[in-house]
Amino acid sequence: MSPQYLLSNVHEGLPSPGDVVTLVKGSYHYYHYGCDGFDDRGWGCGYRTLQTLCSWVKGQMSVKGQGQIAEVPSLPEIQKTLMKIGDKGQDFVDSKQWIGSVEVCLCLDTLYDVPSKILHITSGDDLASHISTLVKHFDQMGSPVMMGGSTDNSSKGILGVCQDPASLLVLDPHFYGPLKSVETLCTENWIKWRTVDTFNEDSFYNLCLPQLKSASCS
């Protein structure tokens, strides 16, 4: 889908929950259920978060003048990529199987030659102890983060972190329908700050941290 039909940088203007906030650096497009006419409700959230990350990667590579850059992949293209590299079987293509943080890492590496780190968090209760790691990531890399989990298995984009109160800026890809304004996202909480104590204590979380430095980072 052409970026001209997608909203960009939807976190801008959202009030901060505290004084010490570190945010994504650089532009991205918000990909969500059905945004390209492909109805992926119920299974496509990981793909949509990956597309958001890809839009940021593509934008940063363009700013840096890194030559020919892959377009943001469609959902079928993501599935074919994972099949071609041997991560998935032929039956994965054209299926409604979910993807998580590991698959997001593999696609970023395959399509853009961008490695990622996986941050494993044993439970929602343990999120607070990793705030400093996320602060360092946004300071040094500036890239958006993909968050997946076990019991809490709904994919999320993480666009920033606040140290006090300990909070994550969450971009939810589950919106479906025509989207005309950032205000809709904010009022309906598709983009919002969440304190770490609102995450599921019974779920582990895997975060994919792309290791491409934003052009805005020194």
- Give the E-state strand segments of 27-176 in sequence order: 116-121, 145-149, 156-163, 166-171
Whole-angstrom distance, CA of residue 169 vs CA of residue 157: 8
Asked if 174 is an active-site residue, the reply is yes
Q: Determine the angle formed by the axes of helices 45-63 and 75-84, rounding to 10 degrees.
A: 90
Tell which CATH architecture fits domain 7-210: Alpha-Beta Complex (3.90)
Q: Which of 125, 174, 186, 217 is catalytic?
A: 174
Whole-angstrom distance, CA of residue 162 vs CA of residue 79: 34
Upper half-sphere CA count for residue 206 (Cβ side, 13 Å): 17
Asked if 113 is an active-site residue, the reply is no
Q: Which of 11, 35, 45, 54 is catalytic?
A: 45
What string of pLDDT tens digits covers the 218 residues of the chain? 455 589 999 999 899 999 889 999 999 999 999 999 999 999 999 999 999 999 999 999 998 887 789 999 999 999 999 999 999 999 999 999 999 999 999 999 999 999 999 999 998 899 999 999 999 999 999 999 999 988 888 899 999 999 999 999 999 999 998 887 899 899 999 999 999 999 998 899 999 999 999 988 86
Q: Which of 11, 40, 172, 208 is catalytic?
A: 172
